[in-house]
Chains A and B, each alone.
Chain A
């Protein structure tokens, strides 16, 4: 049973002892400091990345499949090179023959096209698509609207631009109705999308930096010899896996793949992102865990060492306390609290260092230091202190008062 006054007295003594040996205490905590810096930065990066991923994933949609010439991850890309392009005709056939889709949207893209308004210009990915894209992607126009069926089939020169494109091209003007130049053609802006934020920590794939025009217009500029992506949002009638198999089956037929042959197209979902992310997190986690454990081990041994010194130095004090009625437990507790306090100090120094470091890292990787990381690091510090303090504290607790009082 621990009593409050014992805790208070323990902390009081601990601070006294630490204050009396400031430099020694701070140097002792070095291992703990390094351990805590590593563990917080690691958690910060993982947390930040998973936040970015969650946001990106939610922008992809859980039940949306991306049929593409390429597999996003984990496939030999050189094999994909020789695959047949996916065409608008195939997309149209899929729309007609696959009945479990809420929406099918072919998308053809060209990266880093110049978009101009008067004397201003920005670069961004240009997409040619159909009105169903609004459903498959879940984009919401903040201003104006997406293009409609008529505009798409007639190839009207209209476009929807991302948030950043609008912000960069139109400083104080309302973009709606303005004419911008894409690939040498004039387009009328009919919609500006809501801000989406970075995708996986970069603006490159974010819709904020992109522009959308009817597919017909896109083909007019860039020709028909590029492979398109087909975005398929499944309807909820069938279980997801069944619908997916059905979709793949229909598309294999359209592509004329014989039974037993491999797919010559990639079926991508957000799940792949998750897999890649998980493996990255696992790597960071293992490396971080090794460094952390190592430095905490070294730090813990350092604390243990300094606690032995502290116990030795204060043998007479221990004897006096025992003569005055301190029980073994009170002495044990006093030194445990002292060890824990030194480690807590190390943890706080570690946090104080990793806070600015996390801001620097945030420039490279998405990162975020949540409260649980702070709580975790401080708990780890205290645990290391308690663990490494046990043996010295026990040594102190079981000292014979007569010998301790006589100690010179």
Chain B
């Protein structure tokens, strides 16, 4: 059984005058500990696919099974719960709470998971340590650099030990040097057994993944394994 199983997934939007098919029949499987890049030009449906995989949205038709559970039948609370426990989001714009410390930001999914305060703190500290920010825990987002903010966001995605990490253009708001840092971090996470899905339109970013799925007009144009994924030399 695949971790993620999509079969003939269609997502269409009723725009009044016409019905727009953002996804028109997508079939794919993603296994545990894969590192997949989803690519495509704007309007290709990659964001919609990410929303469906991330359980932010449900397909109009077709089957989406997450860990063997049919997401299409889930109500709002079940979707919230699966997002909370199974999926770690990393956004292009970081989406940190500006007035909260790094620690509280990372604790947020744990709060919604209902963890007691002590366990929350321990897990959040652990996640921040995993992204190398142990010394920035009490800083607020505006006291951190762009790269550090994105690492806080990655720590937040990791905090609840999700089944997949779903990153939407994670380097889109970073300069190339800090972008490389984040991709190194992703490579580390993958090595440690995490499943990663990165949505991007940059070839260089996608080159880090072990599998690249290209979308065009709401359909999968190609789905290829990467022979030699790009690995940056460690500076240390």
A interface, CB within 8 angstroms of B: 3, 5-6, 9, 16-17, 19-20, 316-317, 319-330, 400-402, 405
Q: Quick check: B100 and A16 within 8 Å, CB to CB? A: yes
The answer on a CB contact under 8 Å between B85 and A325 is yes
Residues in A neighbouring B114, C-beta threshold 8 A = 3, 5
Segment 77-130 of B: residues with Cβ below 8 Å from A: 77, 80-81, 83-85, 89, 91, 93, 95, 97, 99-100, 108-109, 111-117
> Which residue of chain A is the closest to B107 with respect to CB atoms?
A9
The 9 closest A-B CB pairs, nearest first, are: A325-B84, A320-B95, A325-B112, A324-B109, A327-B80, A16-B99, A401-B56, A323-B89, A325-B83
What B residues does A329 contact at CB under 8 A?
Answer: 77
Chain B residue nearest to A19 (CB atoms) is B99
Of A3, A319, A324, which contacts B108 at CB under 8 A? Answer: A324
Is B112 touching A402 in the complex (CB atoms < 8 A)?
no
Cα-based distance from A391 to B123 in the complex (angstroms): 35
Q: In whole angstroms, what is the CA distance A405 to B169 when docked?
A: 14
The verdict on A5 contacting B111 (CB below 8 Å), with A323-B56, A401-B56 known, is yes
Asked if residues B77 and A328 are in contact (CB atoms below 8 Å), the reply is yes
Pick from A20, A316, A405 the residue with the most CB of B within 10 Å.
Answer: A405
Collect the chain A residues with CB atoms within 8 Å of residue B109's CB. 324-325
CB distance from A237 to the nearest CB of B (A): 71
Given contacts A3-B114, A5-B111, A405-B91, A324 and B56 within 8 Å (CB-CB): no
Assembly CA distance A396 to B100 (angstroms): 20
A405 to B51, CA, bound (A): 10
B80: which of A6, A319, A320, A325 is its contact (CB, 8 Å)? Answer: A325
How many A-B residue pairs lie within 8 Å, measured between CB atoms?
70
Chain A residues lying within 8 Å of B116, measured Cβ to Cβ, are: 5
A8 → chain B, closest Cβ, in Å?
8
Contact status A317-B54, CB under 8 Å: no
Q: Which residues of A contact B111 (CB under 8 A)?
A: 5-6, 9
Q: Is B217 an interface residue (CB 8 A)?
A: no
- Distance A207 CA – B105 CA, assembled complex (angstroms): 70
Q: Assess whether A20 is in contact with B117, with CB atoms less than 8 Å apart.
A: no
| Minimum CB distance partner of B112 in chain A | A325
- The distance in angstroms between the C-alpha atoms of A319 and B94, with both chains bound, is 12
Rounded to whole angstroms, the CA-CA distance of A281 and B230 in the bound complex is 83
Residues on the A chain within 8 Å of B89, using CB: 323-324
Pick the contact of A321: B99, B108, B115 (CB < 8 A). B108
Are the CB atoms of A323 and B108 closer together than 8 Å? no
Confirm or deny: B156 has a beta carbon within 8 angstroms of a beta carbon on chain A: yes
Chain B residues with a Cβ under 8 A of chain A: 51, 54, 56-57, 76-77, 80-81, 83-85, 89, 91, 93, 95, 97, 99-100, 108-109, 111-117, 156, 160
Contacts A16-B100, A327-B112, A402-B57; A322 near B80 (Cβ below 8 A): yes
B80, B83, B93, B100 pick with most chain A CB within 10 angstroms: B80
- Cα separation A19 to B140 with both chains bound (whole Å): 15
Q: Are A324 and B100 in contact (CB under 8 A)?
A: no
Q: How far is the CA of A316 from the CA of B98 in the complex (A)?
A: 12
- Chain A residues near B115: list those with CB within 8 A: 5
Question: How far in angstroms is the closest Cβ of chain B from A310?
Answer: 13
A313 to chain B, nearest CB (A): 11
Task: Name B52's closest neighbour in chain A (CB-CB).
Answer: A402
Q: List 12 A-B contacts (CB under 8 A).
A: A316-B95, A322-B80, A323-B83, A324-B84, A324-B112, A325-B80, A325-B83, A325-B109, A327-B80, A327-B112, A328-B76, A402-B56
Which residue of chain A has the shortest Cβ distance to B116 in the bound complex?
Answer: A5
| B81 smallest CB distance to A (angstroms) | 7
A residues less than 8 Å from B56 (CB atoms): 322-323, 401-402, 405
- B160 contacts across to A, CB distance below 8 A: 325
A327 to B81, CA, bound (A): 8
**Least Cβ–Cβ distance between B35 and chain A, in angstroms:** 21
CB-CB < 8 A to A3: which residues of B? 114
Whether A5 lies near B117 (C-beta < 8 A) is yes
User: In the docked arrangement, what's the CA distance between A75 and B66, Å?
Assistant: 86
> In the complex, A322 Cα to B80 Cα: how many Å?
7
Cβ of B158 to closest chain A Cβ, rounded Å: 12
Residues on B with C-beta less than 8 A from A405 are: 56, 91, 95
- In the bound assembly, the distance between CA atoms of A330 and B57 in angstroms comes to 19
Q: Which residue of A lies closest to B99 (CB)?
A: A16
Given contacts A323-B95, A401-B56, A401-B57, 9 further A-B contacts (CB under 8 A): A3-B114, A5-B116, A320-B97, A322-B80, A324-B84, A325-B81, A325-B160, A327-B80, A327-B112
CA distance A308 to B85 in the complex (A): 30
The CA of A176 and the CA of B93, in the complex, are separated in Å by 90
- Compute how far the CA of A270 lies from the CA of B84 in the bound complex, rounded to whole angstroms: 69
Looking at the assembled complex, report how far the CB atom of A254 sits from the nearest CB atom of chain B, in whole angstroms: 83
A326 vs B95: C-alpha distance when bound (angstroms): 15
Query: How near does chain A come to B143, taking the closest CB pair, in angstroms?
Result: 16
Q: What is the CB-to-nearest-CB distance from A330 to chain B, in angstroms, rounded to a whole number? A: 6
A395–chain B nearest beta-carbon distance, Å: 15
Q: Which residue of A lies closest to B81 (CB)?
A: A325
- Complex formed: what's the CA distance from A188 to B95 in Å? 90
Q: In the complex, A74→B87 CA distance in Å?
A: 78
CA distance A3 to B117 in the complex (A): 13
Q: Given the complex of chains A and B, what is the CA–CA distance between A17 and B97 in angstroms?
A: 11
> Which residues of B are found within 8 Å of A19, using beta-carbon distances?
99
Contacts of A317 in B (CB 8 A): 95, 97
Give complex CA distance A195, B84 in Å.
71
Contact of B91 among A20, A320, A327 (CB under 8 A): A320
Contact between A325 and B99, CB atoms less than 8 A apart = no
Task: Give chain B nearest CB distance to A244 CB in angstroms.
Answer: 69
What's the nearest-Cβ distance from chain B to residue A382, in Å?
Answer: 23
Greatest chain A CB density within 10 A among B77, B85, B95 is at B95
